[in-house]
Chain A
Amino acid sequence: MPPTIKFEALAEDALLLRFGERIDIELNAQVQATTARLRQRLPQLECVPAYASVLLRFDLQHWPGDNPHQQIQAAAGAALDETSSTIAAVQDLVIPVCYGGEYGPDLAEVAALCRLDTDTVIARHTAADYRVAMLGFAPGFPYLLGLDPQLAVPRRTDPRQRVPAGSVAIGGSQTGIYPEVLPGGWQLIGRTPLRLFDITANTPSLFAPGDRVRFQAIDEGQFHDLAAANPA
């Protein structure tokens, strides 16, 4: 196991595997590869990837003995030392977004903060390749890495009580999409008509950690056509 990875005991049934303390696309790629490997080798562990760590949660009944943490550290360490590679099942997703107007009420403010015009903001937002670093905040909410540094803007000083479902937003150096109507402080630049989370579906979340994502600009007419095809 690489010496830079550390185990941290969190609770009786939880260990954290830490890769670092930064938000970094390379570090997160290690997190995703490790998660894929551990899920394959130790399916009895629940692995929860985040920016630079993986939470391992376990059922103590599966690890009898006086020192379950030591057993799991040894098993996880051995799985990570194997040289064979694990190919993570990663999706490539293209997310249609209607930028600006009522769909992205903060687009003009973001453009002004970045000293760019709104078309350039859209062009840069759609030009980048993103990775889903983790899901959190709400079911199906993807934290995306890969935002053009020029588009990094501070969160709003007056968070909204109700951000519409599908809103594509920028918060600091990250971009994300609100799956449901939620309170939120990120800057809203557009909206996707896709449904991100449906708990009754076989695959409830459109996104999974590690997925590759691109945004594609659509107009209002296309937004309504797609929204009609993807009813909430």
Chain B
Amino acid sequence: MNVTVIKPGLLSSLQDAGRPGHAALGVGRTGAMDPSAWQLANALVGNAGGEAAIECTLTGPSLRFEQAAVIALTGAPITARVGEHSMPMWTTCHLPAGSVLHLGGMASGCRSYLAVRGGFHVEALLGSRSSDLHARIGYAHGRALCSGDVLPIGATAPLPGSPAGNDVQPLGWSLDPQPWFDFAQRPLALLRGSHWAQLDTASQQLLFGGNFSLSKDSNRTASRLDGHTLKLRAPLELISEAALPGTVQLPPSGQPIALLAEAPVTGGYPRIGQIAAVDLPGLAQRRPGNTVCFRETTLDEALMRLAARRQRLTRLLGTIAQRLEHR
């Protein structure tokens, strides 16, 4: 079974949990920018493992399904239709053979996920099917999807109770997206970074109080923040060391850069903050021009919120698996 890309959308790529554990060789983790949305999309189609899904950016692709398929859409609210039918998000949909799924623009947010039952089974590299667009690792040497790409789908048993007919059929229930997509674009919790104290007083206040806006030069590697130029008390010459997603760096231009899923493995700019892991998908879902502001948090609070979110996600994944099993 295959899926053919008819139109690629603005920037679509296959993503899974990424490649942890290879940073010492210069290979970054990459992976889905909004990991819970990706996980929930997989759960909704009954994929047990961390299968690769398509991560769409601002405008989604058009895809033809050669055979009947079970799909789910999560993440940023995106328009989706098959023929006359508009496709709901955050639920399980059955597509008959030959369906063409048109994904359009997003009402808000920046990244949506399309999972298919069986997963997109391109070659796994170092245990992952994620595309690293920067290091050119992944499907077709890590480039974004193009028209004409044919993506193989893994073989699986049909979902219990799958309809046999030719209709597009969503399930009778869907998830509440509220906990998994920040419609309100709340301030992002930020830990003080290793070099925060070296910012001048005005810059320290701006970092935790100012409104920044997401620059159009943002991508999967980093969000660039416009609006305020921050200054150090004195220039800092640092040697390169390991870099992480979520780190807010300050290059000499004074324009803060927040590293994201495709962060390089090393970096040498001062680290003025670290975005709480639980709020990082919130930044990945901002689009150019959106406001970004930070509130100060502590490591304890960040750990607590992360643990609570993971617990909630694990419970929901269990509920979805049960519901799919007993339809």
Q: Do A and B come from one complex?
A: yes
Residues of A within 8 A of B194 (CB): 8, 10, 16
- Whether A136 and B240, one on each chain, are in contact in the complex, defined by CB atoms closer than 8 angstroms, is yes
Look across to chain B and name the residue whose beta carbon is closest to the beta carbon of A140. B26
- Whether B240 and A139, one on each chain, are in contact in the complex, defined by CB atoms closer than 8 angstroms, is no
- Whether A139 and B21, one on each chain, are in contact in the complex, defined by CB atoms closer than 8 angstroms, is no
Q: Complex formed: what's the CA distance from A201 to B266 in Å?
A: 23
Surface stretch bound by B, among A52-60, A103-111, A221-229? A52-60
Q: Does A88 contact B (CB under 8 A)?
A: no
Q: What's the interface size class on A, roughly? A: 35 or more
Q: Complex formed: what's the CA distance from A141 to B26 in Å?
A: 7
Residues of B within 8 A of A13 (CB): 277
B288-310 vs A, Cβ < 8 Å mask (1 yes, 0 no): 00000000000110110011000
- Whether B299 and A136, one on each chain, are in contact in the complex, defined by CB atoms closer than 8 angstroms, is no
Look across to chain B and name the residue whose beta carbon is closest to the beta carbon of A20. B239
Q: Does B171 contact A (CB under 8 A)?
A: no
Q: Does B249 contact A (CB under 8 A)?
A: no
- Whether B240 and A12, one on each chain, are in contact in the complex, defined by CB atoms closer than 8 angstroms, is no
Q: Which residues of chain A from 17 to 44 have any CB-CB distance to chain B below 8 Å in the complex?
A: 21-23, 35
Contacting residue for B274 out of A11, A48, A143, A197, CB 8 A:
A11
Residues of A within 8 A of B155 (CB): none
Surface stretch bound by B, among A72-80, A122-130, A185-193, A203-211? A203-211
Q: Which residues of chain B from 1 to 32 have any CB-CB distance to chain A below 8 Å in the complex?
A: 20-27
Q: Does B242 contact A (CB under 8 A)?
A: yes
Contacting residue for A11 out of B136, B240, B277, B300, CB 8 A:
B277
- Whether B240 and A140, one on each chain, are in contact in the complex, defined by CB atoms closer than 8 angstroms, is no
Q: Complex formed: what's the CA distance from A204 to B23 in Å?
A: 12
- Whether A11 and B26, one on each chain, are in contact in the complex, defined by CB atoms closer than 8 angstroms, is no
Give 23 A-B contacts (CB < 8 Å), ordered by A residue.
Answer: A9-B191, A11-B246, A11-B277, A12-B299, A12-B302, A14-B244, A16-B194, A21-B238, A22-B239, A48-B23, A50-B239, A52-B241, A60-B306, A135-B26, A136-B264, A136-B265, A137-B26, A137-B264, A197-B25, A200-B125, A204-B22, A204-B25, A204-B27
Q: Which residues of B contact A (CB under 8 A)?
A: 20-27, 125-126, 135-137, 191, 194, 238-242, 244, 246-247, 264-266, 271, 274, 276-277, 299-300, 302-303, 306-307
